Amino acid sequence: MGRLRTNPEAINLIKLSPYYLSEASNKYFDNKNPLYIEIGMGKGLFIINNAIKYQNINYIGIEKYPTVILKAIKKTEVYENNFHNLKIICDDANNLKNWFKNKSVDKIFLNFSDPWPKKRHESKRLTSIGFMNIYKQILKPKQTIEFKTDNQGLYEYTLDQWMHSKDFKVEAYTDDLYSNADLLKDNIPTEYENKFIKQGIKIKKIIVSLI
């Protein structure tokens, strides 16, 4: 995708969007529909297309870089559509518990997260034990996390974490999503995913449920 030049005005511009959440609330949507969140939403292709396809599901994207969020917000302007089921948070994943009550989320998406390959950076991986402890608090019982990556090391690390977890059960996994008809069904790609597929890079996926 290339390095994105930081826009110093991005934080002010995203605050003007009707999809931007400026503070935590007990109720983000005026309905009781299921709540799905994407942690590290990037430029928003995945979550926007989900919000269009599944109107009866509420979506919240979390991204810590305002410049990237601005790209996502500009994507929404392409559609003649009022995204009544989409909101965006600008914050770090470490602060998820500030935004979501215990047992309030129905699904978590982790798409192409930074692999943080060095051992000393393990705690920064979004599938490390520290983050898993956060997810098990905000996720409803029996509900799922869907993880996709192009990185073999992060895939193996994550699969091992979840295979040995007392809190999560591995429901399905593959190291070649586009050769797995069952898991590919209804798949919605991200920007990175489209790029990697064109390059012939295999996409890995894991689905786990909270016990």
Q: Which of 113, 197, 201 is nearest to 157 (CA)?
A: 113
Q: Which of 114, 101, 95 is nearest to 42 (CA)?
A: 114
One-letter-per-residue 3-state SS of 80-105: CCCCCCEEEEECCHHHHHHHCCCCCE
In the residue annotation, 176 being an active-site residue is answered as no
| Identity of residue 108 | I
Q: Three-state DSSP class for 62?
A: strand
Q: Which residues are within 8 A (CB) of 178 and not within 5 positions of it... i.e. 6 or more apart?
A: 184, 197, 202, 203
C-alpha to C-alpha distance for 107 and 118, rounded to whole angstroms? 29
Q: Which strand (E) or helix (H) includes residue 30?
A: none
Set 30, 91, 114, 175: catalytic member: 114
Q: Which residues are known to be catalytic?
A: 114
